[in-house]
Amino acid sequence: MTSEFFVGVDEIRYEGPNSDNPLAFRWYDKNRLVDGKSMADHLRLAACYWHSFCWDGFDIFGDGTMERPWHPNQATSDSPQDGMGQARLKMAAAFEFFVKLGIPFWCFHDRDIAPEGSSFAETTRRVDEMVDLAGQYQEQSGTKLLWGTANLFSNARFQAGAATNPDPEVFAAAAGQVAHCLEATHRLGGENYVLWGGREGYETLLNTDMGRELDQMGRFLHMVVEHKYKIGFEGLILLEPKPFEPTKHQYDFDVASVHAFLQKYGLQEEVAVNIEVNHATLSGHDFAHEIATAFNAGIFGSIDANAGDPRLGWDVDRFPVSVEEMTLGMVEVLRGGGFTSGGLNFDAKLRRQSIARDDLFHAHIGGMDTMARSLLAASSILNSGDLDDSRDSRYLGWTTEFGQSILNGEATLESLRTRSMGAQEPARVSGRQEALENTVARHIERIR
Ligand code: XLS
Ligand code: NI
Ligand code: NI
């Protein structure tokens, strides 16, 4: 349709751990069977549109650094001068990238794929036009949509939130936008729909009625669920927790607070979570903890695979490189039964100085190999029983008649007091954390 953007990069292939080719996979071997399922089906990897194609490297201190010729400020005399032409050029580059990388899924915000028009009606026409084009690209390439989402945070109208805005007119604008984006996602066969509450939170209680705002958010989410059924969308509706940034107090702080919110508004059967690694870290939790919390609550959905920086307290969205951190996450994913409609989306961006066209490939190859190794290590750990056996033995007492009598309600505080009177001091046993850490390291070292 348009000329090649990533000139000089061919399709990325699996070459195995001994390959020195930097533009090849060393671990991501999509057809390799892991516990009877292909690696591709386990991981369900996705590339995101916003960081890779909409961001040109700008930060609060300076302009973009990257060559993104579809950006208005980079238009040359032979590139499209209008917003829609630029959007088409961007989409051509994006799908060229997805295909060359061989990544099975992509994700987008409505505003990533089409520039806003001067009215809601014009904006929706533009989104629709780009959705049609995306549909054609999906068909040609076989790339599928993991999820779509509405950007309810960039436009200045959302300065005080979208669903939680003090003004119902803004709520209405957000509702209209989500109705449209959910339909667009449905038309593209999207497997999930995500709501990240960008500005759903507050800065100060001096001007904020928290209870009222949460009620609004509960109502908004019910409307989303109602609309999902109305249009026959079968994917999951996912909330993406994040503790802060952009607002100081984000309502969807972490998985546990989202769960409490869903329970309060009767939505726990309808809505699940999209867990982002760096958001977990920012909330003071381990990534694996957030996954386990979601499975325990029955609301696990999908993952934004990225990484923070241990010394920076904001959402740096690096590509994941830590096999250890991701292995511990994948152990929980596999323990919980794996993904259904969710997957692993690289909500991750390049460093500002990574301005060569092939840097985008190196970043994703590293991320995909990291996730593949982590999957293999997690499967090896679980199959060996090394962790589960020692974990089970810690709880052995609960399987006895005595342990059961406590759980099934037979025992009372009173009866346990009586029992304690004659009992010996309970024997203490080692938690063996260091030994278990070494066990994990051994599995990571040995996978091939
Ligand atoms: C921002 C979020 C965002 C969502 C999609 O921190 O991670 O990128 O994933 O709106
Ligand atoms: Ni995210
Ligand atoms: Ni994020």
Name which residue sits closest to atom 6 of ligand 1, judged by CA: 315
Q: What share of the chain is helix, strand, coil (3-state, %, to 5)?
A: 50, 15, 40
Work out the burial of residue 47: count CB atoms within 10 Å of its CB; fewer than 13 is exposed, 13-18 middle, 19 or more buried. Answer: buried
Mutate to test the pocket of ligand 1, among 54, 240, 244, 287 (most ligand atoms within 8 A of CB): 240
Instruction: Tell how far the Cα of 324 is from the centroid of ligand 2, in angstroms.
Output: 21
Residue type, 178: V
Burial profile 169-208: b = 16 or more Cβ within 10 angstroms, e = fewer: ebbebbbebbbbbbbbbbbbebbbbbbbbbbbbbeeeeeb
Ligand nearest to the backbone CA of 52? 1
Cβ of residue 315 lying under 6 Å from some atom of ligand 1: yes
Spell out the residues 6+ positions from residue 131 whose beta carbon is closer than 8 angstroms to its own.
113, 184, 187, 188
Residue 3: its pLDDT value, please?
A: 87
Query: Measured between alpha carbons, how far is 157 from 3 in angstroms, rounded to an integer?
Result: 37
- H/E stretch holding 368 reads helix 359-384
Minimum-distance ligand 1 atom for the alpha carbon of 245: 6
Cβ of residue 213 lying under 6 Å from some atom of ligand 1: no
Instruction: Tell how far the Cα of 301 is from the centroid of ligand 2, in angstroms.
Output: 13
Residue 49 three-state SS: helix
Residue 1: its pLDDT value, please?
A: 44
Cβ of residue 191 lying under 6 Å from some atom of ligand 1: no
Instruction: Tell how far the Cα of 282 is from the centroid of ligand 3, in angstroms.
Output: 10
Residue type, 125: R
Instruction: Tell how far the Cα of 196 is from the centroid of ligand 1, in angstroms.
Output: 6
Instruction: Tell how far the Cα of 148 is from the centroid of ligand 1, in angstroms.
Output: 11
Cβ of residue 240 lying under 6 Å from some atom of ligand 1: yes
Residue 182 three-state SS: helix
Answer for the pair 24, 13: CB distance below 8 angstroms, yes or no.
Answer: yes
Sorted by where each begins, the domain ranges of the chain are 33-384, 389-446
- Region of residue 244 (left: phi > 0; alpha: psi -120 to 50; beta: else): beta
Residue 8: its pLDDT value, please?
A: 94
Cβ of residue 281 lying under 6 Å from some atom of ligand 1: no
Query: Measured between alpha carbons, how far is 37 from 30 in angstroms, rounded to an integer?
Result: 10
Answer for the pair 190, 236: CB distance below 8 angstroms, yes or no.
Answer: no
- What residues sit around ligand 3, an ion, with C-beta below 5 angstroms? 276, 315
pLDDT digits (tens, 9 = 90+) for 225-246: 999 999 999 999 999 999 999 9
Instruction: Tell how far the Cα of 277 is from the centroid of ligand 1, in angstroms.
Output: 11
Minimum-distance ligand 1 atom for the alpha carbon of 151: 10
Spell out the residues 6+ positions from residue 113 whose beta carbon is closer than 8 angstroms to its own.
49, 87, 90, 91, 127, 130, 131, 134
Q: Which alpha helices (H) appear in 114-265, and where do they start and end?
A: 120-141, 168-187, 210-231, 255-264
Query: Measured between alpha carbons, how far is 206 from 209 in angstroms, rounded to an integer?
Result: 9
Name which residue sits closest to atom 8 of ligand 1, judged by CA: 347
Residue 2: its pLDDT value, please?
A: 54
Would you please indicate which residues are annotated as catalytic (active-site) residues?
A: 109, 112
- Region of residue 387 (left: phi > 0; alpha: psi -120 to 50; beta: else): alpha
Q: Counting runs of H as helices and runs of E as strands, what totals does the chain give?
A: 16, 14
Residue type, 103: I
Name which residue sits closest to atom 3 of ligand 1, judged by CA: 196
Name which residue sits closest to atom 10 of ligand 1, judged by CA: 196
Ligand nearest to the backbone CA of 196? 1
Cβ of residue 242 lying under 6 Å from some atom of ligand 1: yes
Token pair, residue 232, equals 């026959």
Cβ of residue 252 lying under 6 Å from some atom of ligand 1: no
Instruction: Tell how far the Cα of 341 is from the centroid of ligand 2, in angstroms.
Output: 17
Minimum-distance ligand 1 atom for the alpha carbon of 345: 9
Name which residue sits closest to atom 4 of ligand 1, judged by CA: 196
Query: Measured between alpha carbons, how far is 243 from 254 in angstroms, rounded to an integer?
Result: 6
Residue 224: its pLDDT value, please?
A: 99
User: 33-384 — its CATH code?
Assistant: 3.20.20.150
Q: Which alpha helices (H) appear in 232-338, and where do they start and end?
A: 255-264, 277-282, 287-297, 323-335
Name which residue sits closest to atom 5 of ligand 1, judged by CA: 196
Which residues in the chain land under pLDDT 70? Answer: 1-2
